[in-house]
A and B are shown apart, each in its own frame.
Chain A
């Protein structure tokens, strides 16, 4: 889970990392009020979970409360690469004397932790890595001993950061560990004219698997989107922009199904993994979410019967369609069952004679039929 900048800075503040004074506003009037309270020039920053805000005009200086209101009015509602800025962070303007880059992250390739620090901050890190790779210091971190004061000093010195940056690096590492983060990144980390180190921006990705150790419900944004409705039912669902609704068991098989549907010339409308068990209730919940999507013109159910054999899966589908009643009749549902007891499963489905259901024995053939049906042929 990615955090907004303001949430990342709240975390930084809790761990003793200096951040500019500021608060979030959802309306221009609120922005004016916050700016008045800060009593100095401010910066209005769009809160979106994507990079390139500055270039898109989502970060604007304002000399005082009146300007803050006007600028917030411009930024709130702005679409930055498909992300709508619903809030702005109103922050005391802080002038950098120097700009650095600092990050700690999980290194997938090595299965460990990695520090990345540079004295050249402010630009996109991919750009820095490409244009001036020597300016980016990368240091693997021992997962057992971590980053102590000495390691932090070494990091700062290697990257050419001033000495007073070392304690901030050490605290940033603590954020990664204490918060179960996959990434903590500050770009830019700045040194002010009066030699203070301040985190001017913040990006934090938390590990959803570690939620049981933390009170992360605060970060959940509740909306009425299909994705959130699916999540509330414990389903693994991602909305896509095509017309073939897809359900399958197992993340890899579902990803593969999306690709095969695309190969058959149609766009998948979603990713939905109902897991290995594929029980009737989970199948019904899954079909309900998919059929609630107005973009869906046909549905492809792709199940491989392994531990749960196909006869149990077929009974699950029949029960699920009974639970759905009329709603299950409106769009064609192509089912492909394969694996253990596939023939028995297929017979159960054909005996049920549901008007919307048709069966195809292979994954490739089923995807072709679902694609054809979505195209209205």
Chain B
């Protein structure tokens, strides 16, 4: 089992004919993803040959959905066209829309989030997407650094996701979700915690956070009230100075709020063990799982 994305997911790629779209579509296919369609306005009617499969290109998401039954969209279009692309997917009632694009204006994210409300789950923007190893990949997470297993992972950061997936590759993952580091995102830590708690294929959860906002504090409160599966966490950015954006648009300590220390304390207060380094976090997960097994 997995969350949000399984071997039965039928994936379409918006922006598939662009350089990034083509490159990552080939990678997703290699990871076992059932890619059923590409969408590029004005380029409908042709096919792109990926060797193992020819993927038809449609001029609109609505057309692609009605022709192929696609139920996941992955978006690789440039920032200025991203809002329109998401709105198109929402209007075509695609249940899951994964926005890889970095640099989407926050106002656009607020608007498409409001538009999608209850109809489409949006993951991102500015995220690596999600992967259910051995089943399907929607986004850019490398498929060959880990294996299928029973750990769920949710993270604001792409490379820290990869680091943890790699360190725990022998145990493997049900699903790893990169929710993105922007100030406003479609799917939160809490959404993923809820789904992992409900997923019979997930035994334990790794949660990766970073400075900025209070999503980790909210997640801690949610864990205390709703999550019975073991959770270990990692938080990045203890040494970040106040008022500086650290790479991710949302990674900023404002005054005394959004600090890594506050997030760590909130998580530890509800019994979540927080690693000091990514490697220590991986070790904590191992000990949690071996304790659960005995």
Contact = CB atoms under 8 A, between A and B. Distances in A.
Contacts of A180: 105-107
Contacts of B199: none
A252 B105 contact: no
Contacts of B240: 255, 258, 271
A359 B136 CA distance: 35
Question: Which of under 10, 10 to 19, 20 to 34, or 35 or more describes the interface residues of A?
Answer: 35 or more
Contact of B239 (A142, A236, A262): A262
A281 interface: no
Contacts of B183: 106, 108, 182
Interface string B223-262: 0000000000010111111001111111100010000100
A251 B166 CA distance: 18
B106 A210 contact: yes
Nearest to A51: B255
Nearest to B247: A251
B7 interface: no
Contacts of B215: 108-109
A254 interface: yes
A252 B248 CA distance: 8
Contacts of B15: none
B105 A207 contact: yes
Contact of B185 (A111, A112, A251, A262): A111
B277 interface: yes
Interface residues of B, number: 63
Given A143-B114, A252-B158, A252-B248, A209 B163 contact: no
B125 to A, nearest CB: 9
A106, A111, A254, A362, most chain B CB atoms within 10 A: A111
A254 to B, nearest CB: 6
A209 B105 contact: yes
B181 interface: yes
Interface in B35-94: 79-80
A94 B255 CA distance: 30
B160 to A, nearest CB: 4
Contacts of B248: 251-252
Contacts of B238: 258-259, 262
Contact of B247 (A209, A255, A261): A255
B162 interface: yes
Contacts of B161: 252
B249 A208 contact: yes
A256 interface: yes
A304 interface: yes
B110 A106 contact: yes
Interface string A102-113: 000010110111
A227 to B, nearest CB: 9
B138 interface: no
B250 to A, nearest CB: 7
Interface in B130-154: 140-142, 144-145
A260 B103 CA distance: 28
A106 B106 contact: yes
Contacts of B109: 111
A208 B182 CA distance: 12
Given A263-B276, A340-B144, A210 B107 contact: yes
B115 A144 contact: yes
A213 B79 CA distance: 11
Interface stretch (B205-213, B265-273, B286-294): B205-213
Given A113-B110, A126-B255, A306 B162 contact: yes
Contacts of A263: 276-277
19 contacts: A108-B183, A108-B212, A111-B110, A111-B113, A143-B113, A209-B105, A238-B245, A240-B241, A251-B247, A251-B248, A255-B211, A255-B236, A255-B240, A255-B247, A259-B260, A276-B140, A304-B162, A340-B145, A364-B277
Minimum-distance CB pairs A-B, first 8:
A252-B157, A251-B247, A250-B159, A210-B105, A253-B159, A255-B236, A252-B160, A306-B142
Interface of A: 106, 108-109, 111-113, 126, 142-144, 177, 180, 182, 207-210, 212-213, 236, 238, 240, 248-256, 258-263, 267-268, 271, 273, 276, 304, 306-307, 338-340, 362-364
Interface of B: 27, 79-80, 103-107, 109-111, 113-115, 140-142, 144-145, 155-163, 166, 181, 183-186, 208, 210-215, 218, 234, 236-241, 244-251, 255, 260, 276-279
